Amino acid sequence: MMFSNLSPQSRITEVNSVSVKLGLTYTKQSLESDSYLAGLFSYLHDKSDLLGVAINRSKAESNLDDKDIVRDDKVQALNYLLLGAMHNPNAEISASATKLYAIFVKYGIKMIKESYLIESSLIESMLKDYADLSLQPDIAAVLGCAELIAGLQTAQNDFRTADTIWDEEKTKEDLTQSASEIKKEVLTIINGKIVVYLKAMNQVNSELYADFAKAVSDIINEVNQAVKRRKSKRDEEVAIEN
């Protein structure tokens, strides 16, 4: 059984939907004797309720989350492009990609898991590095690199605009914890706690946990497939534009 983590690129509403479905599925199981699992789902239920309330507060933050997903996709695409180009049989292309990737790894793919503020800082610093005139021949040598960097710049600009609108709304509504912050907490509970635990327990006692583990996996995979379809559609749109 394929047991994947819930994609960090899931929308806030999708993470909320998964947490609710997981909770409802858990209540139908006969796993009351597992006090640790009961505690996890009690914690998830509380965070899920908070996320639902936060979602209803603000459309501005939902838009911010969408913009964050777009820039995350650009960061990942740049990572994959440079990794692939480093193995190009053309020595000049490989050398240019290696030089560009050395800059990328200073910031790392893990930047997409950072807070909005930290991720913005890292992306903007990386873009500034790539703007160095001495690197332009290398960027031109790697097919598609210039377009990806430009796309990341646009995505970051769009995020900054949405972030400004969200900051204004937070001030106006005197909000304390945002939906995006709660989303990260829910993802940590699902991926770092529930999925990890069920993977282990399904190996230890498949007879007791197999049905529930499969149900959890199916719920997560359904959303992950939706995320993949969105990404494929955006990639197709970018390819048409270019």
Q: Does residue 176 fall inside a structural domain? A: yes
Give the pLDDT score at 241. Answer: 45
* Mean pLDDT over the full length of the chain: 89
pLDDT in tens, 86-112: 999 999 999 999 999 999 999 999 999
H or E element in which residue 140 lies:
helix 136-141
| Residue 140 · residue 99 · CB < 8 Å | no
Percent of the chain surpassing pLDDT 90 = 67
- The closest of 75, 61, 40 to 166, measured between CA atoms, is 61
Rounded to an integer, what is the distance from CA 212 to the centroid of its chain? 25
Residue ranges making up the domain that contains 231: 12-241
pLDDT at 242: 44
Q: Specify the number of domains making up the chain.
A: 1
Instruction: State the pLDDT at residue 174.
Output: 57
Whether 234 has a pLDDT exceeding 80, the answer reads no
| Residue with the larger pLDDT of the pair 202 and 235 | 202
Q: Residue 178 — pLDDT band, cuts 50, 70, 90?
A: confident
Q: Tokens for 209?
A: 């946990």
The residue ranking higher by pLDDT, 241 or 71, is 71
Express each pLDDT in 33-87 by its tens digit: 899 999 999 999 999 988 888 887 767 777 888 899 899 999 999 999 999 999 9
The mean pLDDT of 170-185, rounded to a whole number, is: 75
Q: pLDDT value at position 168?
A: 80
60 neighbors 166 (Cβ within 8 angstroms)? yes
From the number of C-beta atoms within 10 Å of its C-beta (0-12, 13-18, 19+), residue 144 rates as middle
Pairwise CA distance, residues 175 & 156, whole Å: 24
Percent of the chain whose pLDDT exceeds 70: 92
Report pLDDT digits (tens) over 118-154.
999 999 999 999 999 999 999 999 999 999 999 999 9
| pLDDT at residue 236, rounded to an integer | 56
Is there a contact between 121 and 128 (Cβ–Cβ < 8 Å)?
no
In a domain, 4, yes or no: no
Residue 137 lies in a domain: yes
In a domain, residue 104? The reply is yes
Nearest to 37 by CA among 50, 23, 49: 23
**7 within a domain of the structure (yes/no):** no
Q: Which pTM value belongs to this model?
A: 0.58
